[in-house]
Structure 1
Amino acid sequence: MEKNSSPIATTGHDRLISHGTSSQAGHDDLAQTIRLRLRAAGDLPGASVDQQIALLDELSTFELGRFLLENRGLNAWWTHQLVTYLPGTAAASSKGSLEHQIFEKLPAVLATRERFGIFREQLQVLLKPRMTLASVPCGLMGELLLLDYASHPDATLVGIDLDQQALNAALALAKERGLAERLSLRCEDAWAPSLRGAADVLTSNGLNIYEPDDARVTALYRSFFDMLKPGGQLVTSFLTPPPALSAQSPWNMQEIDPQALALQHLLFVRVIEAKWSAFRTHDQTAKQLEDAGFADIRFIDDRARMFPTVIARKPL
């Protein structure tokens, strides 16, 4: 595969859909706008307006909470912090605080962290000599940069992301891991990458959960298909719908803390209005991948069946 002449190659690009706010208001003005919205919406069963506003006020007291309020999504850095977090080590948060509960209790966060571990396990198994492994969107690229390459010093890594800050952070992590020399980074749209037929393994997490248009997600999978060599493997993931939204929800409620789930709903749906709301079932995802050309599709569920991993192969 041809290497870029610089660590990060840039092209014109479209838009970030995972984070970023169109509002130029300061945090206090934004919090006041949310406060007025919550008062207008009224009480919820089990959560008065005053209780909802108390959550808003506590979110404003710590860095992750402020980021979520201002962006309604996660960037590469915060995603990496959540998935690599070790329980019991949250800095500046006491047990029982909202920050502590987000890091250690919310079902979606736990499922995301478990999904990250599944990715790393599966990618380590797939790793073979002289492979090219790509990540789109790469974020900090932890699922690849944290693998063990001791037996594979000839592996080549490619990261593609629209967020230049994510690419900069991925390069910093690669340097920390001693992998910068084998890393190529590109600032490109996942739907229109320059990489073609070059990757043995392609990993992707988090983009499809922000895209509600099923046709665009299928087109995204076609883009991944085109980036892979014949016989190449895609490792990706998706969010499944909660029972309240779909009779086909696969959620395993025995593995989900109901109080933490109620808090999660209040935070992400009511207060933050998070952008990651594109849910799909296993059958929908399999159909989209098949329509994109993939075969040998298999799923690996997290315990709660909220954030499954899916592995698919490009036929020879």
Structure 2
Amino acid sequence: MDPKTLRDAFSGLSVFFAVAHARSFTKAAARLGVSQTAVSHAVRALEARLGVSLLSRNSRNVTMTEAGEQLLANVAPQFEAIDTQLQALTELSNSPTGTIRITASDHAVRAVLMTKLKLFLPAHPGIKVELSTNSGFVDIVAERFDAGVRLGEAVAQDMIAVRIAADAPYAVVATPAYLQHHGMAQTPSDLLQHNCINLRLPTRGNLWAWEFAVDGREVNLRVDGQLVFNNTSEAVEAVLAGLGVAYLPAELVGQYVQSGQLLQMLEDFSPVWPGLHLYYPSRRQPSGAMALLIAALRV
């Protein structure tokens, strides 16, 4: 295969993989920074070279043919490995560069990542970090993230996990004014009589159960209240406004407990959760930029 044909084939493959992952020509074009027409032409040219149809197109969505599924499953991993190795070779003679895409909860971003990125990014001007906040469980391979951040117990076994924060106690908190009117909870079951601020997990769709340790056993309490959020930032604001009782990472509300803006309850019943971990696929060799970020985040 002559050099131009080889370049065209690799270009067509990268465009096809982008469309396959996004299930959309429009989203793939935005991700690649090119026009939708250019994406369509590249895919059609690849299909013509291979002599098979890779994608089925209609007015609503894009699906893969059997040949497209086979190409994605068998070639995409090798293609990504080649890209990683080429990036590594480039970094032998230059400062590491590239974009690192990470999915994390808003709590992880606020409590850990931003604090460490303030020191990391100025020291590595060639590295970009894209943070996508999501409280649900994201398939980082399918969504083309380089890494994710979750509590240690939530990391899949086929991932490499790097601890980036200590174990995390949770706290049940409310304002003094709220508790003066409704009373302090003495046991977890007392919370069933309170206006509790809930979190809904996007992936599962259900309300998150509050976990406590009672007489050496784990108790999952389904509480009720007027407010439900899908991340912790709004829950912090709501509890500070006196709108109910919240169950949140202690590091997010610790400053407000110390200042007296919030009071903590049920400390003897609140378990300690496994700390935050950065995780990435075990079969993927980290790029130079990713290796530097891992070293900066590791505790």
Tell whether the structures are fold-level matches, with TM greater than 0.5.
Answer: no
The structure where strand makes up a greater share of residues is 2
